[in-house]
Structure 1
């Protein structure tokens, strides 16, 4: 074989044998921050038993956020973007928050380097009538990208009070959660029909399992991966998860095996730890193509 032909063949073989370019692996977390507000105790917008955090509390929460070191943090129960930025500083993150009429906003902290396309808030999760004395939290709906792949994300905080009861339970909380799940199912169906990779995460206030009727209903139009399935959280004594991450379409194959983590608090005084938050950050890793 002529030398030039041999060199050409060797070059082709080397290119074929070269490893494929690897996509970005991102860490995604959901974290309920438990009435994170700077309003004074006794403010009419707050329950009587809510004690706002002091500067030391904010510093401890910021230290845990640094330790969490996630690329995306879906957070719940935060009063303002200013407070969110105390935990997720502008040098590292951009903050997206729901524009709704509550104190307990949901939002997303997005690491710099990722693109953000914001979609309208999922305001239909507030299934209460307009004249209701209190309102439910809207979902935050964004698409993030790394220049190659993108992921549609919905951050939710659903109605409390129906943690494990059947959907047919006639208590008001269960009836409300049932209506919210119908809204969520419609959003999921739209994403499945579009064929885009997506994730729903946040505080569902529900012990979702693969056999839970609500979980089955969410999968009417296609399978979902419930990252927390079959697991109990080490946060506050090992209860079943109510903070969840659901993956749909191509995002299901992006999940890194055994990447589910829960960041627990180091404080020895349980009362002090619970004052930081009654939830711990839950995270997974996705390998975007």
Structure 2
């Protein structure tokens, strides 16, 4: 089945024209770290950025011009400051002791409160050499309305396999989705507007049994549903933004966008993911 391709925009319009319009994005930055290439915690085949690469990423950040950017695969705030100017953005990260942390960049006109990390998303064995990422749980307010966000980076490798798959990464991914269900159920009971966003490492559609089961916990709006990503050559999305409770009604229709790169991402030290964005009209 062929899905419509989301428009890939390199240059995006500012959302500042409307005081209560919030541009919300998610961006996996592909092992963004300041560590030395020979660091034992880094694989040998990942990108190692030069000062020019960081500058190039910052250039794209300015054109993205999002109010809130959920981040994955970033080695903490010091690395993030090379891409997101601290004069423009507040940077908040989980307290994980891993290289690929989840975080968020939020413009200073918004108020950010960090809640407890969702550590239970690390479903790897306590003795595992490499642990999975916690979820970053934050509340963001414009002074009138509050939005609860959970930033995730789930286990890779179970892109669209059936629930019966018992090998490799699928059992761990299914465990993580059960944990997401618990978090969603709590927000549903509270009645708070909420978003779950990030790198799900799953080609979610409305017909995926995982998504169907999530919908039994709470009505969720999968903003990437029925679309394909220009970043992945027309494949289904794995980076998603899910809206719940009042946040579903805040979505500006047809605001889903993907910021693509003008050149080869690998050649320019960019990322193997493109930022995915929507606009919310906050009452």
What residue is the counterpart of 1:136 in the other structure? Answer: 132
1:212 aligns with 2:208: yes
1:32 aligns with 2:54: no
Give the direction of change, closer, same or farther, for the CA distance of 1:209–1:109 in structure 2 (3 Å limit). Answer: same
Query: Distance between the aligned counterparts of 2:39 and 2:127, measured in 1?
Result: 21
SS of 1:35's partner is strand
Long gaps (5+) in structure 1? 1-21
Query: Distance between the aligned counterparts of 2:168 and 2:49, measured in 1?
Result: 31
Of Structure 1 and Structure 2, which has the larger fraction of its residues in helix?
1
Question: What is the CA RMSD across the aligned residues, in angstroms?
Answer: 1.2
What residue is the counterpart of 1:284 in the other structure? Answer: 278
Q: CA deviation at 1:130?
A: 1.7
Long gaps (5+) in structure 2? 1-17
Q: Give me the TM-score of the superposition, normalised by structure 1.
A: 0.90
| Aligned pairs for 1:1-289 within 5 A | 24-267=20-263, 269=264, 271-273=266-268, 275-289=269-283
Q: Give me the TM-score of the superposition, normalised by structure 2.
A: 0.91
Q: CA deviation at 1:27?
A: 0.1
Q: CA deviation at 1:270?
A: 5.8
Q: CA deviation at 1:40?
A: 1.7
Equivalenced residue count is 266
- Once superposed, which parts of structure 1, at least 4 consecutive aligned residues long, lie more than 3 Å away? none
Q: Considering only CA atoms, is the larger Rg found in Structure 1 or Structure 2? A: 1
What residue is the counterpart of 2:4 in the other structure? Answer: none
Give per-residue Cα distances to partners, 1:232-283, cap 9 Å, x unaligned.
001131211000000000000000000000000011x46415x410000000
Query: Distance between the aligned counterparts of 2:104 and 2:172, measured in 1?
Result: 25
The structure showing larger relative contact order (alpha-carbon pairs under 8 Å, at least 6 residues apart) is 2
Q: CA deviation at 1:222?
A: 1.9
